[in-house]
Amino acid sequence: MRKSKSRQLTYRVTRQPMRLFLTILILACISRPAAAHAVLVESTPVPESISSGPNIAIRLRFNVRIDADRSRITIIHSDGSGRKLQTLKGPEPNTLTATATGLQAGGYRIRWQVLASDGHMTSGEIHFSVGG
């Protein structure tokens, strides 16, 4: 009878770590990865580029879906003056578009702020110039 209890104890002790490992493995496989903040992956105009004006089509593509209705794009001239642009939903849910009209030659910044699918706001700037 003593051997039987000893075997049962050994069996239990060696099985516990295996069960724990399998439980962790299963949870890791079925859990969804956390959504990331929006990261700008492509833009038109390209940063530090020279565009021909006076009208510039702006297209911003992000790594995650964004809420276009709660996002914004502002165009800022090198003298500090700026104006908010009307944002439009892009062809994909991770794209935001706008058109800047009446731009004179000089340096500009596109300041963007987007609400990502994870609920976080992200912002950034793209510097470019309009050639004369």
Q: Are residues 80 and 112 in the same domain?
A: yes
Q: Are residues 52 and 108 in the same domain?
A: yes
Residues 81, 39: contact at Cβ < 8 Å?
A: no
Q: Are residues 55 and 103 in the same domain?
A: yes
Give the pLDDT confidence score for residue 61 in this predicted structure: 96
Q: Are residues 126 and 63 in the same domain?
A: yes
Residues 6+ apart with CB under 8 A from 112: 40, 60, 71, 72, 73, 74, 96, 123, 124, 125, 126
Looking at the predicted structure, is the pLDDT value of residue 31 above 90?
no
Q: Are residues 71 and 113 in the same domain?
A: yes
Q: Where are the beta strands (DSSP E) in the chain?
A: 40-44, 50-52, 56-62, 66-77, 82-85, 88-89, 95-100, 106-116, 121-131
Give the CATH number, domain containing residue 99.
2.60.40.1220
Q: Are residues 61 and 5 in the same domain?
A: no
Q: Are residues 24 and 44 in the same domain?
A: no
Give the pLDDT confidence score for residue 62 in this predicted structure: 95
Which range has highest mean pLDDT (10-24, 27-41, 118-132)? 118-132
Q: Are residues 4 and 25 in the same domain?
A: yes
- The number of folded domains in the chain is 2
- Expressed as residue numbers, the domain containing 79 is 40-131
Give the pLDDT confidence score for residue 12 in this predicted structure: 58
